[in-house]
């Protein structure tokens, strides 16, 4: 049974979501402020976290920053509808996905199952090597020039997807479907932000470029050097 931590100051909403999630087979805990939520997330008892951005005291963004300093637990943000700034900042800080509030509980379940599925090691035992990038799928380990990278589950899956098609341009639509688990919607910059985060964690090619190249209007390509 997967354990989900809800961090939201709306206790009535938490009770409603908890009831729905438990009926779907999840074990649920809740925290109603950012400080307590971050502490519970870092205790290691949660398999995934649902985090509201608008929290009293310590904001959800600050809680996310605190969580990401020590943990790669999957995090889904709840953001105000149309609030693109908080959404992008959250993704830049390492959130795996987001949903606008008020959220549909059925969609939240689908997003949770998607991030948990991406965070669970698959059966593949193969190792991928693309230039200085090494990926061991079964262990969910990625290395750059022999140094282990600290990647979120979304970043790992993004890198693995690009590596499996190294040298070929992968469209944003395909990346959204395979990595985020849902179709790319209009004006959705989630893929771009995750690529930007991944680029910061990767090294550089001999000519100083990032190994992930943008193909304008299409998508991204991992350079097979």
Classified by CATH at the fold level, domain 3-119 comes out as Rossmann fold (3.40.50)
pLDDT digits (tens, 9 = 90+) for 167-202: 899 999 999 998 988 888 888 899 999 999 999 999
- Classify domain 127-222 by CATH number: 1.10.10.10
Find where tokens 């870092």 sit: 42
Yes or no: say if 58 and 32 are a contact pair by the CB < 8 Å rule. no
C-alpha–C-alpha distance, residues 34 and 205, integer Å:
40
DSSP conformational letter for 183: P
Burial of 192 (0-12, 13-18, 19+ CB in 10 A): middle
The predicted-structure confidence for 142-158, as pLDDT tens digits, reads as follows: 999 999 999 998 999 99
- What span, in angstroms and rounded, lies between the C-alpha atoms of 68 and 2? 20
Cβ-based neighbour number of residue 145 at 10 Å:
10
Whole-prediction pTM: 0.77
What is the pLDDT, as a whole number, of residue 123?
45
Provide the edge-to-edge strand list for the sheet that holds 3-7.
27-31, 3-7, 48-52, 75-80, 97-101
- Say if CB 64 and CB 90 are below 8 A apart: yes
Mean pLDDT over 89-95 rounds to: 93
Q: Is the pLDDT of residue 125 over 60?
A: no
Whether the per-residue pLDDT at 5 is higher than 90: the answer is: yes
Domain ranges of the chain: 3-119, 127-222
């Amino acid at each position: 049974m997967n354990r989900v931590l809800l961090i939201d100051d709306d206790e009535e909403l938490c009770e409603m979501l908890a009831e729905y999630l438990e009926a779907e087979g999840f074990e649920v805990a809740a925290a109603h402020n950012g400080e307590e939520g971050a502490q519970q997330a870092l205790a290691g008892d949660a398999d995934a976290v649902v985090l509201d951005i608008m929290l009293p005291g310590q904001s959800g963004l600050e809680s996310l920053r605190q969580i990401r300093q020590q943990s790669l637990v999957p995090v889904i943000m709840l953001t105000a509808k149309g609030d693109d700034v908080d959404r992008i900042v959250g993704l830049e800080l390492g959130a795996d996905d987001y949903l606008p509030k008020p959220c549909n509980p059925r969609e939240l379940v689908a997003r949770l199952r998607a991030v948990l599925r991406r965070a669970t090691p698959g059966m593949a035992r193969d190792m991928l090597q693309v230039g200085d990038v090494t990926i061991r799928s079964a262990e969910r380990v990625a290395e750059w020039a022999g140094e282990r990278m600290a990647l979120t589950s979304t970043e790992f899956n993004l890198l693995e997807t690009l590596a499996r098609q190294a040298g070929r341009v992968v469209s944003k639509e395909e990346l959204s479907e395979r990595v985020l688990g849902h179709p790319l919607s209009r004006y959705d910059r989630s893929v771009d932000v995750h690529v930007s985060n991944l680029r910061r964690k990767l090294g550089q090619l001999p000519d100083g470029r990032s190994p992930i190249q943008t193909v304008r209007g299409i998508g991204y390509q991992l350079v097979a050097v």
